[in-house]
């Protein structure tokens, strides 16, 4: 059983799920129109076709891509309110960050509020990670591990997303019924069409995490220069549970681009 937080009654994991649904509607529309004279059928079919093309084009423009990914330079923003650069001001700092102030699907959210609904059909989260060369990078607002080679992928409802990087936020960005925890890992993935999917795992103080334990000596000393890590196995990321939340949200720092598929493991790891 998995849960999904949706901004509305109808929620799709990605553009392709939406188009599959729209195609089924189109086929049913054609079947109902069989007994109508050809002139009306031709007009209605053409209208539906061009409507689908228009909607698909609009959604493709809305999808976050690698080119619209989180900014690397933190000097233009901060997490501190009252500085003129805090989260409430992000949408006014740069025109490209307007979604931070006006977006309707912004992340993070609280995961146990009334927006969360049950969707049993989502199925298990399928991942197939591979060891690959990586670097550790200090982006100012976080420490990230970026894989330079193919590090595997995840499968969400038939769409494959390649693993690009993972990073940590402290304290956690997502909350559970108002509770914020010590740490949150984000594993960032990208599909062949440029769509972004993020897996988030929240931690509380407890046993050493296998991945962090291997990287700790490098994380402690990384500054402006990237550090080559050699081959790092992303399989060291422990999910801790097969139950998860899913919702459509945004990047959590500028430019706050919406359309990100979020998967958050329900268990808080210790």
Active site residue 141: yes
Residue 10's alpha-carbon distances to 17, 88, 247, in angstroms, are 11, 29, 12
Q: What are phi and psi of 191, to 5 degrees?
A: -85, 170
CA angle in degrees (0–180, nearest 5) for 233-170-237? 20
Which is catalytic among the residues 10, 57, 76, 141? 141
Residues classed as catalytic: 141
């Amino acid at each position: 059983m998995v849960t999904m937080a949706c901004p509305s009654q109808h929620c799709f994991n990605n553009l392709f799920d939406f188009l599959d649904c729209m195609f089924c509607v189109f086929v049913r529309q054609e079947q109902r129109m069989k007994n109508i004279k050809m002139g009306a059928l031709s007009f209605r079919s053409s209208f539906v076709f061009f409507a689908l093309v228009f909607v698909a084009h609009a959604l493709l423009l809305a999808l976050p891509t690698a080119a619209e990914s989180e900014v690397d330079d933190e000097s233009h923003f901060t997490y501190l309110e009252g500085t003129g650069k805090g989260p409430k001001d992000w949408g006014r700092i740069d025109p490209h960050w307007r979604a931070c102030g006006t977006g309707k699907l912004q992340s993070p959210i609280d995961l146990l509020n009334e927006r969360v609904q049950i969707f049993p059909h989502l199925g298990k989260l399928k991942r197939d990670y591979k060891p690959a060369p990586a670097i550790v990078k200090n982006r100012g607002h976080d420490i990230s591990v970026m894989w330079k080679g193919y590090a595997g992928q995840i499968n969400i409802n038939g769409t494959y997303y390649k693993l690009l990087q993972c990073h940590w936020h402290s304290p956690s960005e997502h909350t559970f019924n108002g509770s914020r925890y010590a740490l949150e890992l984000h594993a960032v993935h990208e599909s062949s069409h440029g769509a972004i999917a993020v897996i988030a795992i929240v931690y509380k103080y407890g046993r050493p995490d296998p991945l962090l334990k291997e990287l700790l000596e490098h994380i402690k000393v990384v500054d402006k220069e990237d550090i080559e890590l050699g081959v790092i196995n992303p399989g060291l990321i422990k999910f801790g549970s097969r139950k998860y939340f899913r919702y459509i949200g945004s990047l959590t720092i500028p430019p706050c681009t919406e359309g990100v598929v979020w998967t958050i493991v329900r268990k808080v790891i210790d």
